[in-house]
Structure 1
Amino acid sequence: MASRGVLISAIRRAILLLALVVFLGYIMMWIIIPTRTYVSKWWPHIYAHTNFTFFGYQGTYMLEFTFPILFISVIGCLYLHLGKKKAAGSSIMDNKMRFMRRPMIVKGLGIVNLTELSLFIMFIALCVWYFSVYLRNWDKKVPTLSKTQGEKEWQTWLDGVGLFTGLTGNLCLTFLFYPVTRGSSLLPLIGLTSEASTKYHIWIGNMAMALFTAHGLIYFLYWALTNKLSEILKWDQHSVANIPGEISLLCGLALWITTYPTIRRKMFELFFYTHYLYILFIIFFVLHTSIGLASIMLPGIYLFIIDRYLRFLQSRQRVRLLSARVLPCDTLELNFSKSRGLKYSPTSIMFINVPTISKLQWHPFTVTSSSNLEPERLSVLIKSAGSWTKNLYDAISSPSSVDHLQVSVEGPYGPASTNFLRHDVLVMISGGSGIAPFISIIRELMFINSTLKCKTPKMMLVSVFKNSCHLSMLDLILPISGAPSKLELQIEAYITREKGYPMDMGKTQTVLFKPNPSNAPISPTLGPNSWLWLAAIISSSFLIFLVLAGVYTQYVVYPIDKNTSKVYSNSKKGAMNMMIIYFSIVIAASGAFLWNKKQNAKEAKQILNMENRSSSNSLFGGEDIEMETLPVLQSTIKSMNVHYGQRPDLERILLGTKEASVGALVSGPKEMRESVAAICSSSLARNLHFEAISFTW
């Protein structure tokens, strides 16, 4: 058994090394592509060996820029699949490279560590290099080009600035979709999750739109100064098409403006709906640049389309909602039926849609259950904080609440693995409903402690609430089944707006929903071997695309292009390639989904039969739960103290924890996260390992 684990570890290290080598080669191509060496030597050589009638010059770009990333994604799936068979442990580099993860607060970026900051600076440096080298080579051509075009040299130079600003924007667009591809293997390959990577999407998106906006404005200015304003209405079928570019820019601007924090917070629906303009943005971008050039940016978009289509397939299924715990603090815990084959890590999130409230809106919520401790149930915590969540809370908590609620889900999504066991102590600091991810961590450690009989770290939960009624959230620490354990858990609860213990904190009510035979338990979209299925979808869909695109080029495009008096339309070629890409993905992903849906249906039938047999028994004994005593919870924890009218002294708590390895986890408002980050970045906090759990949507 040990030798098998060693072999799996060796294979995974080899996969990581291969992925790193391929990625470095991919980045090298981006570095060298604007240089004269590439243009005059590399490109002619590569083009001569890849310019077959089957693909044309599009094949050259796909070989250089599309294939490497898809290859890394496929072997990344294999790496993650093998990781399921290996127990998670701390990395060898945890201690040696810990300084690279020390938090710092950077204005405009928020909380970042040295690794993130270094990578972001390197990405900006790559963009500056890309733009400056292109412009330097252009400067040498300006005197000749200005005479040829009948322009002044500064006008020709302005033309180049506009062109290379757009090309640099393309570089940002290439990396824009990776952070929001929730089911991709690329993020967990480097230890990231989609929710934690949202900030990278925001950074790169702001850079991309700033560059594309400058690109458009510079060309409008250039056309006005050179009396070429008619170019605005030009749709060239054989070169760059201006009208599609302008439509794409307008869609991008509408999308960009609504991401402004104030608009996003106060008018979330406007932000949510305008974000779908990315579809038109991409379509008209391809029509603007041609499919050949768009192939450079294709891999990120390609993987995103696969992920988006799989999410669409999952969201068509109505899932079985078993019950809800209605807390007196305008908070719900929804409990869903799930298959035993669905595994997820603590701190995962799940997107929920309730058609009776809004058919289009999807909202992310933290999963509070443990897939190991509660193999047939999945729970999420929902705080009534906006119009959507308030409507849901009112619908469930009202005396005449419905006995059935239609719900669809996407996910859950979370880290591929966690390493909480490597710490001696976990200090978890939460604000309000920020306690949700810590509930999932505590429940997972309950399973490890009681079932696997493994040593677990000591835990301190520091929860900050506004009012006493929010103490009812602490009762959610225990799963429905109770499951007491011998965890060393200390709870310090702080009530900031009340001076003493209230007379009545209210009750937690239980709402049971009638089972609907048409609803199914939440199951893994691609089954228990989801990473292998994803690898198969990526490789098979791309193979289908290559065959169909090649046949189309060979028998439709090439016969026209070989006639020197006629050239096939770039727009038609781009539109057809987009349809082929989507068709290929639909065929491959639908086949994998339907195969696994059959397997899931068998288990769903068994689960429904079991639920029907036990439906006469209430999940909670049919009585309301009094929150004043918390007897079962108190038998599980080491101690619980409630502090009224004060806030926690976080510096004293964190720096006073002297164990060798202390996990400092924080989930709550921005000010709280930054306060903890500032403490952990001090020279006195060498034993603190900072981790912020934030969901910025």
Structure 2
Amino acid sequence: MSTAKERFVIFVLLILEGIYLSVRLGRNTHHINSLKFFFEKYLLIEFSIKKDRMEHTGALVRMVMLLVFVGWLFMWIMLPTKTYKYTWSLSLSKHLNSTYFREQGTNLVLFSFPIMFLASLGCLYLHFQAKNAPKRNFTRRRWLDFWKRPLIVMNPLGIVSTMAVVFSVLSVALLGWSLYNYLHVSFGHLMMHGVGEKVWQARFRSVSLRLGYIGNITWAFLFFPVTRGSSLLRLVGLTSESSIKYHIWLGHISMVLFALHSVGFIIYWGITDQMELMKEWSKTYLSNVAGEIAFVLAIIMWVTSIRRVRQKMFEIFFYVHQTYLLYVFFYIIHVGVAYFCLILPGIFLFLIDRYLRFLQSQTRIRLIAARLLPCNVIELNFSKLAGLEYTPTSILFVNVPSISTLQWHPFTVTSNANTEPEMLSIVIKCEGTWSHKLYKQLSGSPIDSLQVSVEGPYGPAAPHFLSYENLVLISGGSGITPFISIIRELTFQQLNDNRKIPTNVLLVCAFKHSTDLSMLKLLLPLTSNTSTTSNISQTNLKIQAYITRETEQQQPLENTDSSLRTIWFKPMPNDMPVSAPLGPDSWLWLCVIISSSFVLFLIFLGILIRYHIYPKELAGGPSAYNYTYKTLWDMFFVCASVFLATSFVFFWRKKENDKKETMKVQNLELGETGEIESCADLSVVETTSIHFGHRPDLKKILMENNKKSSDVGVVVCGPRKMRHEVAKICSSKQANNLHLESMSFNW
């Protein structure tokens, strides 16, 4: 019933029904509610029509996006084949390689446009989904539980789900298929590149060259996982934090391929006495020097990104990894404009995201207060706009210029967007040089203000972990911080009778020392009210705390606030609350940025080629224009279009938001907070049991919950050894009712 004619018929029938009720009931006020039922019934049917129409439209959009994505993958499958090289490419070149785009036309249409279209359409889909869908929809697709189940638990891969294994196998199959077909086509039409060159030498060169082609395929996907505000990741249910491992895997694979490609060419030049080619920067073809510079930069980045180096010397890894800009620059010069269009979408979307983050980070954020816990833990409380929404377990990136102007560190958001509409909180555990410097700065001489910049928050689309019947949260040390936001969300949802939340929630937390128990104080916010405090005892929350390095309790949990210190900061004139970079309707405006910037790029490129490059090539031949200059023009237009479109939308939206939103500074009294904290302490103590001298028996705890319920969500965050132990338990055949979600602070 979605057409106008059917709606009209329904309306007429309901009017007749209303007239009948009126005549039958007469003036009896006792039955007036029956007339109200008529209008409610009509409105309900209208709502169901709109809902059905919305669902059909959403299904149609999803189908279109799926078909476009499958078509894009199909072109990658066909690209290395003989059919594409000798049949399709010739026909496509005639129609797509026009005087406006030349050799880039085919790749722009087949490989760049589909992903840019998907990113734009995905933003529109997410925008209307957020507008029309019920707020805080906790439903999850049960059929995905099987695909998310751990299949491989081992170092260095970590916890790998069934879905990740399937996609990894398909990715490796694509690389193997491409290499086989490239070599098959190449060996069938082998070209000699020097006088007296032998067949095996020509084949060796061909293999080295095609390994570079395969590495280019990995680059087509390399930047998607690190684009934090990506609509593509959101469409498949991923966040940048949960998909960072795919970036690492792709990076390792690409480096192996590029290393073989580079070393192979050096060996080839050596055995054919052509070492002078290492110094060649050709004007008509690829630049060997640019490729060598990119390879050296890549090797340095690769070595410093190895897990052991990255964790032991994070600052070295961080600073060296920033050379990716130079790496990308020389890599694109080396591969040329045609191959640049193959990998363009990932780089284009990453640049938009990175520039938006840069613009957001230029704002100095209003810091309300900091709580220093006796276990070297800091809670920072920021002011935020009431309209900024985020889900539990979201991540906020923080920069403190007084410590380091370049370093940005991610921290879990512990506050709740519903119960704390004007405050956003994060928790920092002092475990590294940066965090220790921050703790020392705050705990030293009194300070009135602290300059802080942020990026984010970034998080999942919905708190789907609340859809389980029972919930088990397992943490080790600072791994408890994501669960603070989950428990606060549970506390809030307890007030909503129409929302289904887990019946029982068990928090298992392992600490080294009893002073770490003070982190349980953070389960309630700094400015919680009486209802929030009382609801924590109504969520069926049970806390089992394990102190592994102490055999007896040093002091009661309720007395651990003796050394807790709260620092209140004075508002500064330039301070602003945390807000979304594009304000409300962020997905809609991101769609505007993506589509307009890509169109600008095409316009700039088309004008340049048609009126500057094409006339010179027409007069002097295809190689008349410097090959490197073409690549430089492409990179310049990409950066210029992203800068212009993003800057215009960002500053226009910022101006509009400044008109609508006024910064509100809360005058919080320390005395009132102290009273609230004491109430919170009592509610936490009532639900906590403390064990000393041993670690939790995770297998026993999980198997007991596996027997109690048929739908148990298990969320673990902590050291790698703990996460792997929980994953192995949940992947066993006896744990059919356990559904694992693993979180990690390190990669």
SS of structure 1 residue aligned to 2:510: strand
What's the C-alpha RMSD, in Å, of the aligned pairs?
1.8
User: 2:182 aligned with 1:134, yes or no?
Assistant: yes
User: 2:135 aligned with 1:83, yes or no?
Assistant: no
2:703 to 642, 655, 659: 655
Q: Deviations over 1:350-375 (max 9, x none)?
A: 11000000111101111101112211
CA offset at residue 638 of structure 1? 6.6
CA offset at residue 285 of structure 1? 1.2
The amino acid of 1:404's aligned partner reads S
Partner of 2:236: 190
Partner of 1:537: 593
Unaligned residue ranges in structure 1 (runs of 5+): none
- Residues in 1 aligned to 2:376 and 2:140: alpha-carbon distance in whole angstroms: 45
Matches within 5 A, 1:566-605: 567-602=624-659
- The 8 Å contact of residues 634 and 640 in structure 1, kept in 2 or not, is answered as no
The amino acid of 1:593's aligned partner reads F
- Residues in 1 aligned to 2:250 and 2:671: alpha-carbon distance in whole angstroms: 48
User: 2:268 aligned with 1:222, yes or no?
Assistant: yes
Partner of 2:609: 553
The amino acid of 2:448's aligned partner reads D
- The 8 Å contact of residues 66 and 298 in structure 1, kept in 2 or not, is answered as yes
- The 8 Å contact of residues 226 and 244 in structure 2, kept in 1 or not, is answered as yes
SS of structure 1 residue aligned to 2:521: helix
SS of structure 2 residue aligned to 1:180: coil
Q: Deviations over 1:167-204 (max 9, x none)?
A: 00000111100000001101110000000111000000
CA offset at residue 580 of structure 1? 0.9
Partner of 1:108: 156
CA offset at residue 210 of structure 1? 0.8
CA offset at residue 89 of structure 1? 4.8
The alignment of Structure 1 onto Structure 2 pairs a total of residues equal to 684
- The 8 Å contact of residues 137 and 462 in structure 2, kept in 1 or not, is answered as no
Partner of 1:667: 717
SS of structure 1 residue aligned to 2:293: helix
Partner of 1:498: 550
SS of structure 2 residue aligned to 1:8: helix
- Residues in 2 aligned to 1:693 and 1:318: alpha-carbon distance in whole angstroms: 29
Normalised by the length of structure 2, the TM-score is 0.89
2:490 to 445, 464, 471: 445
- The 8 Å contact of residues 328 and 507 in structure 1, kept in 2 or not, is answered as yes
SS of structure 2 residue aligned to 1:607: coil
2:669 to 618, 627, 642: 618
The amino acid of 2:624's aligned partner reads V
Partner of 2:473: 428
- The more displaced of 316-325 and 76-85 is 76-85
User: 2:730 aligned with 1:680, yes or no?
Assistant: yes
Partner of 2:85: 39
- The 8 Å contact of residues 31 and 130 in structure 1, kept in 2 or not, is answered as yes
Partner of 1:302: 348
CA offset at residue 563 of structure 1? 1.5
1:478 to 524, 537, 540: 524
Partner of 1:516: 572
SS of structure 2 residue aligned to 1:686: coil
SS of structure 1 residue aligned to 2:509: strand
Partner of 2:145: 98
Unaligned residue ranges in structure 2 (runs of 5+): 1-46
Judged with a 3 Å threshold, the aligned counterparts in structure 2 of structure 1 residues 231 and 509 are, in CA distance, closer, same or farther, namely same
CA offset at residue 304 of structure 1? 0.3
CA offset at residue 535 of structure 1? 0.6
Q: Deviations over 1:443-487 (max 9, x none)?
A: 112222125663421211111100011111101001123322121
The amino acid of 1:437's aligned partner reads P
- Residues in 2 aligned to 1:349 and 1:149: alpha-carbon distance in whole angstroms: 60
The amino acid of 2:324's aligned partner reads Y
Q: Percent identity?
A: 44
User: 2:364 aligned with 1:313, yes or no?
Assistant: no
The amino acid of 2:118's aligned partner reads I
CA offset at residue 624 of structure 1? 9.7
SS of structure 2 residue aligned to 1:446: helix
- The 8 Å contact of residues 470 and 709 in structure 2, kept in 1 or not, is answered as yes
CA offset at residue 600 of structure 1? 3.1
Larger Rg: 2
SS of structure 2 residue aligned to 1:319: coil
Q: Deviations over 1:595-642 (max 9, x none)?
A: 2211332455x333xx2xx53x4255375998xxx6424436872101
Q: Deviations over 1:129-172 (max 9, x none)?
A: 11111111212223xx2387531001000110110000000001
- Residues in 1 aligned to 2:55 and 2:139: alpha-carbon distance in whole angstroms: 12
Partner of 2:619: 563
- The 8 Å contact of residues 495 and 643 in structure 1, kept in 2 or not, is answered as yes
The amino acid of 1:125's aligned partner reads A
1:170 to 212, 216, 220: 216
CA offset at residue 78 of structure 1? 1.5
Partner of 1:29: 75
Partner of 1:74: 120
CA offset at residue 229 of structure 1? 0.3
Matches within 5 A, 1:11-26: 11-26=57-72
- The 8 Å contact of residues 338 and 378 in structure 1, kept in 2 or not, is answered as yes
SS of structure 2 residue aligned to 1:690: strand
Partner of 1:337: 383
- The more displaced of 644-653 and 480-489 is 480-489
SS of structure 1 residue aligned to 2:620: coil
The amino acid of 1:663's aligned partner reads G
- Residues in 1 aligned to 2:739 and 2:500: alpha-carbon distance in whole angstroms: 19
- Residues in 2 aligned to 1:3 and 1:134: alpha-carbon distance in whole angstroms: 53
